[in-house]
Amino acid sequence: MLECSMKLTLLLLTLFTFSFSAIALASSQCSITGLPFVRNISEIHQDNFGRPGLSHMTVVGSLMHGMKEVEVWLQTFAPGSHTPIHRHSCEEVFIVLKGSGTLYLASDSNGKYPGKPEEHFVFPNITFHIPINDAHQDHNIK
Amino acid sequence: MLECSMKLTLLLLTLFTFSFSAIALASSQCSITGLPFVRNISEIHQDNFGRPGLSHMTVVGSLMHGMKEVEVWLQTFAPGSHTPIHRHSCEEVFIVLKGSGTLYLASDSNGKYPGKPEEHFVFPNITFHIPINDAHQDHNIK
């Protein structure tokens, strides 16, 4: 177990595959909500979705910006907080911007159960990618 | 025209859609090349592909890491250098990490010609996304 008292800030690049085809955009405003293509990350709304210790920003997303293939999130985890253990049908790439923590990755995605995960210590400048359906958890261990 | 003497460093999140389905990964090593899932960005090979002023890193990619849906690149442009004017059949998201420059974005992707592009000044903490097929160029104007 790792000692960690800093917040852990992650950039998450998550891909969603949608079945509808590309739509034409007629100006530099998004056609869905009118939000601009060019934005300042420091002005993006933060939310915790009711989960203590989480700060989440959707840097670019499907609902707000009409993205059809990829989403980018900026998330910060307070000491002791973590994601659920989860997996999903899209690839995910992480870049650690600040703080440190632990990635738990169970890469036996073919099995009925994901098995014992490997632990990876992560810190700024570390990137990691999660293959489709591989169970994983990001943890800022207190 | 904007004056700029700093290098412009961009994080590019580019999506590629492949037709083959997910492959199973049996360990925390990529099945294609044996490269690990967890890597330090500062140790990733840089290349300029013969283009003066460019520094390119593939943070995670299809050829090296077996990515099927998304690639992440880190690129730095010296003053005066730029990307070609180009467009592509995938979405692209940029995050400006250092320096400043100009994004040229022609968002009339339905036309035979892309038309006159809009100019956007970009600097650290700015993010922008390029819709599918919209012509664009990133420029570190000297």
* pLDDT tens profile A118-130: 999 999 999 999 9
Residue B104 pLDDT exceeds 90: yes
Residue with tokens 């990137």: A127
Maximum alpha-carbon separation in chain A:
52
Query: b or e along B87-106 (b: 16 or more beta carbons within 10 Å of the residue's beta carbon)?
Result: beebbbbbbbeebbbbbbbb
The confidence score (pLDDT) of residue B11 equals 72
Nearest to A25 among B95, B122, B131 (CB): B131
Domains of chain A plus CATH, in order, are 8-139 (2.60.120.10)
Name the A residues in 15-74 with CB < 8 Å from any B CB. 15, 17, 22, 24-28, 37-42, 59-60, 65-70, 72
Residue A97 pLDDT exceeds 70: yes
Rounded mean pLDDT of A44-62? 92
Question: Using an 8 Å Cβ cutoff, are B107 and B131 in contact?
Answer: yes
The confidence score (pLDDT) of residue B142 equals 60
Q: What is the mean pLDDT of chain B?
A: 78
The confidence score (pLDDT) of residue A15 equals 42
pLDDT band, very low/low/confident/very high, at B113 (cuts 50, 70, 90): confident
Asked if the Cβ–Cβ distance from B67 to A91 is below 8 Å, we say: yes
User: pLDDT above 70 covers what percent of chain B?
Assistant: 75
- The separation between CA B83 and the C-alpha centre of its own chain, rounded to angstroms, equals 10
Per DSSP bridges, beta strands A70-77 and A54-60 are antiparallel
Asked if the Cβ–Cβ distance from B25 to A60 is below 8 Å, we say: no
**Of B6 and A19, the one with more pLDDT:** B6
